[in-house]
Amino acid sequence: MNIFVVNSGSSSIKYQLFRWPAEQPVCSGLAERIGQENAVITHKTLINGQERTMQQTLVLPDHEAGLREVVALLTSSIVGAIRDPAEIDVVGHRVVHGGEQFTTTTEIDELVKATIRELFALAPLHNPANYLGIEVAERLFPQARQVAVFDTAFHQTLPAYAFRYALPTRFYAEHRLRVYGFHGTSHQYVAAQAAQHLGNPAARLITIHLGNGCSMAAVRDGRSVDTSMGFSPLAGLVMGTRSGDLDPAVVLYLQSQLGYTAAGVNTLLNKQSGMLGLTGFSDMRDIGKAQAQDDPEAGLAYDLYAYRIRKYIGAYAAVLNGLDALVFTAGVGENDALVRSRACQNLDFFGIELDENKNQLRTPGLRDISRPESRVRILVIPTNEELEIARQCAQLLQ
Ligand SMILES: Nc1ncnc2c1ncn2[C@@H]1O[C@H](COP(=O)(O)OP(=O)(O)O)[C@@H](O)[C@H]1O
Ligand SMILES: CC(=O)OP(=O)(O)O
Ligand SMILES: [Mg+2]
């Protein structure tokens, strides 16, 4: 069975092609800067067990053009893995918001598509792009089964006292204003890896996904019991361009005193805040360089970023009434030793003790960076949302 996984972002498409049940993709890649003059596709192929990478710069006016180009690569006799798009049996899509309607992986039909469209209002930055990916894939792979895997689904196990806001009940009853939580596919994937590594399916875990968007989850028995993103992916941690937690009165002040419109506040908090607002850079590699040169703004931004994580660790240790492991994952969590070091600072009270030498090592795969005497394991686990999506597609359809 060939499973093609598509993760459509606002200006990018990430993809992996699996020849199931092999979990190593035969092709994978990323099309970036779609809609701009100089889009780039980076495409990897596994040839005789060796990974070969090629990159091309081209014009991709929209997602349809992007996916068409990806299909051309997949079917290429040199860097491809199939001869005909009809060889794709299943297309698995990352869909960020599934609302309360989707608590699990779902095969896509017209009704499912209509519901995803209704959810545009709840995730305006993400769901329209995901939806577009579905429509384009239906045209390019008309004979394949299309499956949606929702970021929110893993967090549908939160108890009401964790997911409700203290607003008048009608706002939940009529408008579904509540905590949904996101990055669920990633939290679920690394939590399962951690539980397996610990040999304890009931492990109490805090999973820390630090990418462009950042979120944490408290996980017990493989189920999410709380998470730091909320009604939208804006809540919680400090992120690349998003503010994370904020007194809602700040929004009122921006509007009543500083002349911001609702759209202006949206842009400010989602696209101009976070690390970008604090330092002028959203990429942690740039901020890392600046902080290594003693840039005070970068130093403060690191402290703020890590301090927010530490506060959530404390909160979730209370939620879980104890802790077996912390798990760092995604671009920053897997690569930035300074973030991990500061996030774990002064937590020995909880039995969290980082081994600074192990923290600096860059070995691939799962690694334990805690001191032997640490009561809580500190793990770095590379996430793989595409593999988790493929697994869930296979489980649904087999
Ligand atoms: N070597 C590295 N050191 C520090 N940060 C890194 C490194 N590599 C990637 N990152 C960070 O990871 C972020 C992207 O993470 P990723 O999980 O790919 O996010 P997303 O899926 O949201 O695009 C980048 O913005 C960058 O800040
Ligand atoms: C939901 C979310 O924030 O996703 P991303 O980190 O990919 O923007
Ligand atoms: Mg991501």
Instruction: Indicate left, alpha or beta for 252 from its phi (over 0: left) and psi (-120 to 50: alpha).
Output: alpha
Say how far apart CA 135 and CA 10 lie, in whole Å: 15
- In angstroms, rounded to a whole number, what is the distance separating the alpha carbons of residues 174 and 104? 23
Q: CB-based contacts of 345: which residues, under 8 Å, 6+ apart?
A: 306, 310
Alpha-carbon distance of 11 to 332, in angstroms, equals: 20
Q: How far is the CA of 387 from the centre of ligand 3 (A)?
A: 13
CA of 332 to the centre of ligand 1 (A): 5
Name the residue at shortest CA distance from atom 3 of ligand 2.
213
User: Which atom of ligand 1 is nearest to 210's Cα?
Assistant: 17
Per-residue pLDDT at 121: 85
> For residue 265, what are the CA distances in angstroms to 14, 234, 260?
29, 12, 6
Residue 211 in contact with ligand 1 by CB distance below 6 A: yes
Instruction: Identify the residue whose C-alpha is closest to ligand 1 atom 23.
Output: 212
The encoded tokens of residue 14 equal: 């990430």
pLDDT at 343: 98
Residues placed in the known binding site for Mg(2+):
7, 385
Cβ(332) to ligand 1 under 6 A? yes
How is domain 2-150 classified at the architecture level of CATH? 2-Layer Sandwich (3.30)
- Which ligand is nearest to the Cα of residue 124, counting in written order? 2
What whole-number distance in Å separates Cα of residue 352 and Cα of residue 325? Answer: 9
Reported as half-sphere exposure (CB side, CA atoms, 13 A), residue 233 has a value of 27
151 is catalytic: yes
Annotated binding site: 7, 14, 94, 209-213, 283-285, 331-335, 385
Beta bridge partners, 38, equal: none
What pLDDT sits at residue 398?
84
CA–chain centroid gap for 296, Å, is 29
Ligand sitting nearest the alpha carbon of 329: 1
Domain at 200-380: CATH code: 3.30.420.40
DSSP notation for 242-308: ---S--HHHHHHHHHTS---HHHHHHHHHHS-HHHHHHS--SHHHHHHHHHTT-HHHHHHHHHHHHH
289 CB under 6 A from ligand 1? no
Radius of gyration in angstroms for the set of CA atoms belonging to the chain, rounded to a whole number: 21
H/E segment holding residue 221 = none
Under 8 Å between Cβ of 344 and 378: yes
Which pTM does this prediction carry?
0.95
Confidence at residue 380, expressed as pLDDT on a 0 to 100 scale:
98
284 lines ligand 1 (CB under 6 A): yes
Helix (H/G/I), strand (E/B), else coil: 96: coil
Q: Helix 63-74 to helix 127-140 angle, to the nearest 10 degrees?
A: 50
Number of neighbours of residue 3 by Cβ within 10 angstroms: 27
Output the residue whose Cα is nearest ligand 1's atom 9: 331
CB-ligand 2 contact for 385 (6 Å cutoff): no
DSSP 173-204: HTT--S-----HHHHHHHHHHHHHHHT-TT-E
CA distance 371 to 348: 11
Question: What pLDDT is attached to residue 286?
Answer: 95
Order of strands, sheet of 13-19, starting from the edge strand that comes earlier in the sequence = 50-58, 39-47, 27-32, 13-19, 2-8, 90-95, 145-150, 106-107
Which residue ranges make up each domain of the chain?
A: 2-150, 200-380
Residue owning the nearest CA to atom 8 of ligand 2: 213
Atom number in ligand 2 closest to CA 242:
3
SS3 364: coil
Region for residue 197 given its phi and psi (left: phi exceeds 0; alpha: psi -120 to 50; beta: otherwise)? alpha
- Distance (angstroms) between ligand 3 centre and the Cα of 175 equals 28
What local confidence, expressed as pLDDT, does residue 259 receive? 98
Ligand 1 contact via 283 beta carbon (within 6 Å): yes
Give the per-residue SS3 of 258-273: CCCCHHHHHHHHHHCC
Q: From the candidates 62, 84, 151, 324, which is the catalytic residue?
A: 151
- Averages of pLDDT over runs of 10 residues in the chain (398 residues) are 92 94 95 90 91 94 92 94 96 96 96 95 87 94 97 98 98 96 97 98 98 96 98 96 97 98 95 96 95 96 98 98 98 97 97 98 96 98 96 95
Q: DSSP for 126-145?
A: THHHHHHHHHHHHHH-TTSE
Is there a shared CATH topology between the 2-150 domain and the 200-380 domain?
Answer: yes
> What's the pLDDT at 37?
85
The answer to whether 99 touches 176, Cβ cutoff 8 Å, is yes
pLDDT of residue 35: 87
Q: How many Å apart are CA 135 and CA 16, to the nearest integer?
A: 18
